[in-house]
């Protein structure tokens, strides 16, 4: 986390802007490359685990 880049710091900065200017701002969903890669890696890992468990069974549950 970079100092001054918290959610509250952004809210405070935005509140200091003129109302007319704030009304022109549109909300946009943004994902940075790090978090996109992290989400993709997590999904891939979960898929790989399901495949391994389907082939080899759940670890520690042999004989059930």
Q: What is the pLDDT of residues 6-30, one digit of tens each?
A: 888 888 888 999 999 999 988 877 7
14 near 22, Cβ under 8 Å? Answer: yes
Instruction: Bin 3: left if φ > 0, else alpha if -120 < ψ < 50, else beta.
Output: beta
What are the tens digits of pLDDT across the range 37-57? 999 999 999 999 999 989 888
Please report, for the chain, the start and end positions of each structural domain, with discontinuous segments joined by +: 7-56
Instruction: Say whether pTM exceeds 0.85.
Output: no
Largest CA distance in the chain: 68
């Amino acid at each position: 986390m970079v100092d001054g880049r918290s959610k509250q710091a952004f809210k405070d900065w935005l509140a200091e802007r003129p109302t007319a200017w704030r009304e022109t701002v549109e909300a946009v969903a943004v994902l940075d490359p790090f978090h996109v890669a992290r989400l993709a890696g997590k999904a891939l890992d979960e898929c790989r685990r399901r495949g391994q468990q389907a082939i080899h069974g759940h670890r520690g549950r042999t004989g059930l």
